């Protein structure tokens, strides 16, 4: 028989070995087995330098491309490409404007290949190029359109790998991992590693918020303008007030008209920061940084909160949401708080359910405000509200003697929460009158781009609108237009206006890692959890399925918006399942799977998002 110390040492050795293998595999996939591009180019305007690759007779595609953003003037840039062993032809897109530019130098290097110093005169002009002239300083290109590109057929020659150097790199990776594991080993109990991971992510969120350009992120301009309005106002605006016309999107919709309380809070918080002389853009983004920081502080204090928050660490897309001005950050924060209320034994919600009279009014007020704020969120967060009421219903079933008290208390909480939410909605009608809906419709017609105007004929609307009416079947939307693939990629690492993306290898690894994580979680709950934990997991599965189905239906019937962030309320639901089944998942395998997804997310945010996002 092995004693406990021997068993623990064996488990730790297996765990450490697995992490070392993962670290070496990631180095091979993302660094060793990819080419490194160095380009020196002079551009007249801000633009993008992009390389496409293909093999055989296959056409070039966006899926097989790498790029870097250019600043006006001469500059040197670097970025990762693909495995040169898969490349026969390369399409070079030097810039995207009509005008001039000069490529001074272009180099591709990868272990196992001779460095390719591109012979610039050999580049063959293919599109929108009037002049391509080689000189002593490089290749001068004059374009006649916004999509100039040239063809490169690289002369690739293999060379022996410097195995001693490569071995030293793998040894260094393993040594660093051993040191980190040894240092983090005391953090395993009670999931103490979670706050440390949140601290690292918080740093990345701050860097993204402080360095990225205004409106470099999806629809940020309308969120910023809506938040700025509340810097100087308390009441909602008149729908047709010229002062808020810039808050209307191309769809003819203003965030100031949707009832969300986020913009009031973000606007007032940014106003408080004026005394610190912080740049206004950073100040408007700071509210979301504050929310992420509060999640971090909660995980420092509470073990159940660590598990509710843990799924937030498994996708870089969620971190991205907290780095710019967007209302989804508040929705996720409120769901996190509500999740903590469900799983913490001494939470205000559970004290009300248990009939605790100590500090009754304080607990009642906290739950009322939290629930009332959730009623003001976008509809994709409503499944989490259903989870809260399902939890209350379960307590009602389990406590026959206290059923009357539970019903009376939470009927009162619901009424007060609806009144709280109604104050925000009532303020809109107070300002705009009973014909508010008609005014909104008129403003949509006035401010929307003609592709999105309600009056525009179907065949003249944007091609993403009303698939069902256009005769596209649900199966076609899912299969041909790849709804699930787009939703997954935009949920696990696609940045900017979805123009900054990772490699196919990254998404494939992330997909299978997520599947393994969910299968492990489901198995742990099924075989090691109790009845209540299994029922909770089934309920969350049902709510998640309903949310996915609603998103699919909206994309089919209204607008093809396959965006993973619309499904993010599922993450705190999974966190509730984790916290409720804590004993079932408290093992080394779970930590390994978590670290695996976290490292992939770190790679995406650090090496894909931060280098490519437009700078302020």
Of the two residues 400 and 232, the one the predictor is more confident about is 232
Model confidence at 181: pLDDT above 60:
yes
Beta bridge partners of residue 68, listed in sequence order: 49
pLDDT digit string, tens, across residues 576-602? 999 999 999 988 889 889 988 999 999
Contacts of 475 (CB under 8 A, 6+ apart): none
pLDDT over 70 percentage in the chain: 97
**Per-residue model confidence (pLDDT) at position 4:** 45
Of the two residues 181 and 216, the one the predictor is more confident about is 216
Size of the chain, expressed as the number of residues it contains: 616
- Poorest-pLDDT segment among 36-45, 294-303, 537-546: 36-45
- Poorest-pLDDT segment among 67-76, 300-309, 424-433: 67-76
Domain range summary for the chain, segments of one domain joined by +? 4-30+163-187, 37-152, 190-444, 465-585
**Per-residue model confidence (pLDDT) at position 8:** 45
Q: What is the mean pLDDT of residues 261-275?
A: 92
Q: What is the mean pLDDT of residues 85-103?
A: 92
Angle (deg, nearest 10), helices 328-343 and 280-301: 10
Give CA–CA dist 562/481, Å, rounded.
Answer: 10
Nearest C-alpha neighbor of 34 from the set 607, 615, 616, 610: 607
Band of the pLDDT at 188, cuts 50, 70, 90? Answer: low
Q: What is the mean pLDDT of residues 469-484?
A: 92
Nearest C-alpha neighbor of 495 from the set 381, 333, 331, 324: 324
Model confidence at 7: pLDDT above 70:
no
Band of the pLDDT at 184, cuts 50, 70, 90? Answer: low
Model confidence at 574: pLDDT above 70:
yes
Distance from the Cα of residue 468 to its chain's centroid: 28
Question: Per residue, what are the HEC states of 491-556?
Answer: CCCEECCCCEECCHHHHHHHHHHHHHHHHHHHHHHHHHCCHHHHHHHHHHHHHHHHHHHHHHHHHH
Q: Which of 6-20, 274-288, 540-554 is predicted most confidently?
A: 540-554
**Per-residue model confidence (pLDDT) at position 141:** 94
Beta bridge partners of residue 142, listed in sequence order: 100, 131
- CA atoms in the 13 A half-sphere facing the CB of 229: 27
**Per-residue model confidence (pLDDT) at position 13:** 74
State the chain's mean pLDDT as an integer.
90
- For CA atoms 392, 396, 401, 404, the dihedral sign is positive
pLDDT over 90 percentage in the chain: 60
**Per-residue model confidence (pLDDT) at position 1:** 38
Contact predicate 448/531, CB 8 Å: no
Beta bridge partners of residue 40, listed in sequence order: 76, 105
What is the model's pTM? Answer: 0.84
Element (H, E) at 50: strand 47-54
Q: How many CB atoms lie within 10 A of CB 549?
A: 10
Contact predicate 559/464, CB 8 Å: yes
Q: Which of 54-68, 167-181, 270-284, 307-321 is predicted most confidently?
A: 307-321
Q: Using CB atoms within 10 Å of the CB of residue 259, give its burial: 0 to 12 exposed, 13 to 18 middle, 19+ buried.
A: middle
Tokens of 451: 């592709």
Going from the C-alpha of 200 to that of each of 203, 496, 568, the distances in angstroms are 5, 22, 21
Contact predicate 46/71, CB 8 Å: yes
Beta bridge partners of residue 436, listed in sequence order: none
Give CA–CA dist 402/567, Å, rounded.
Answer: 36
Model confidence at 12: pLDDT above 60:
no
Band of the pLDDT at 284, cuts 50, 70, 90? Answer: very high
**Per-residue model confidence (pLDDT) at position 64:** 86
Give CA–CA dist 374/379, Å, rounded.
Answer: 10
- Poorest-pLDDT segment among 5-9, 211-215, 466-470: 5-9
pLDDT digit string, tens, across residues 385-407? 999 999 999 989 888 887 888 89
Of the two residues 13 and 393, the one the predictor is more confident about is 393
DSSP one-letter string for 106-171: EEEE-TTB--EE--GGGPEEEESEEEEEEETTEEEEEESSS--EEEE-----B----HHHHHHHHH
**Per-residue model confidence (pLDDT) at position 75:** 87
**Per-residue model confidence (pLDDT) at position 499:** 79
Contacts of 52 (CB under 8 A, 6+ apart): 60, 61, 64, 65, 90, 91, 93
């Amino acid at each position: 028989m092995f004693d406990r110390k021997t068993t623990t040492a064996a488990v730790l050795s297996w765990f450490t070995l697995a992490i070392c293998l993962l670290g070496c595999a990631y180095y091979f996939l993302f660094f060793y087995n990819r080419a490194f591009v160095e380009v020196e180019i002079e551009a007249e305007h801000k633009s993008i330098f992009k390389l496409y690759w293909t093999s055989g007779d296959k056409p070039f595609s966006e899926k097989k491309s790498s790029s870097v953003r250019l600043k006006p003037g001469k500059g040197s840039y670097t970025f990762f490409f693909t495995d040169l062993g898969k490349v026969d032809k390369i399409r070079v897109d030097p810039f995207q404007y009509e005008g001039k530019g000069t490529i001074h130098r272009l180099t591709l290097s990868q272990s196992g290949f001779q460095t390719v110093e591109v012979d610039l005169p050999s580049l063959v002009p293919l599109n929108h190029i009037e002049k391509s002239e080689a000189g002593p300083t490089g290749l001068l290109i004059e374009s006649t359109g916004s999509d100039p590109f040239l063809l490169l057929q690289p002369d690739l020659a293999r060379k022996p790998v410097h195995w001693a150097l490569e071995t030293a790199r793998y040894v260094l990776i393993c040594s660093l991992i051993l040191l980190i594991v040894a240092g983090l080993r005391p953090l395993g109990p009670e999931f103490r590693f979670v706050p440390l991971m949140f601290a690292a992510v918080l740093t990345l969120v701050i860097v993204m918020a402080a360095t990225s350009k205004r409106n470099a992120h999806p629809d940020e301009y309308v969120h910023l303008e809506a938040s700025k309005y509340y810097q100087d106002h308390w009441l909602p605006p008149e729908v047709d007030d010229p002062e808020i016309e810039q808050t209307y999107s191309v769809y003819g919709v203003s965030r100031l008209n949707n009832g969300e309380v986020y913009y009031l809070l973000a606007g007032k918080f940014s106003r408080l920061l004026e005394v610190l002389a912080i740049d206004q853009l950073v100040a408007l983004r700071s509210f979301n940084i504050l929310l992420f920081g509060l999640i971090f502080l909660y995980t420092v204090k509470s073990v159940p909160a660590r598990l509710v928050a843990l799924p937030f660490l498994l996708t870089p897309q969620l971190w991205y949401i907290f780095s710019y001005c967007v209302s989804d950050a508040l929705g996720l924060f409120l769901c996190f708080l509500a999740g903590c209320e469900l799983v913490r034994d001494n939470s205000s919600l559970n004290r009300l359910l248990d009939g605790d009279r100590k500090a009754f009014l304080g607990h009642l007020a906290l739950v009322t405000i939290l629930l009332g704020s959730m009623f003001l969120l976008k509809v994709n967060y409503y499944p989490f509200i259903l989870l809260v009421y399902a939890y209350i219903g379960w307590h009602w079933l389990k406590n026959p003697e206290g059923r009357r008290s539970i019903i009376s208390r939470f009927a009162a909480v619901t009424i007060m929460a609806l009144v709280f939410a109604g104050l925000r909605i009532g303020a809109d009608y107070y300002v705009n009158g009973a014909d508010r809906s008609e005014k909104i419709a008129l403003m949509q017609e006035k401010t929307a781009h003609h592709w999105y105007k309600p009056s525009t004929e179907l065949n003249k609307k944007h091609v993403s609108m009303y698939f069902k009416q256009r005769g596209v079947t649900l199966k076609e939307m899912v299969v041909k237009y790849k709804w699930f693939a787009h939703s997954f990629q935009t949920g696990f690492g696609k940045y900017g206006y979805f123009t900054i993306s990772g490699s196919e290898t990254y998404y494939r690894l992330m997909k299978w890692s997520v599947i393994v994580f969910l299968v492990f979680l489901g198995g742990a709950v099924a075989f090691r959890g109790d009845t209540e934990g299994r029922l909770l997991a089934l309920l969350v599965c049902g709510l998640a399925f309903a949310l996915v189905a609603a998103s699919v239906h909206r994309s089919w019937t209204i607008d093809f918006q396959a965006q993973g962030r619309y499904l993010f309320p599922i993450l705190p639901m999974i966190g509730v399942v984790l916290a409720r089944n804590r004993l079932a998942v408290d093992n080394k395998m779970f930590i390994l799977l978590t670290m695996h997804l976290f490292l992939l997310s770190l790679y995406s945010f650090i090496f894909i998002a931060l280098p490519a996002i437009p700078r302020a």
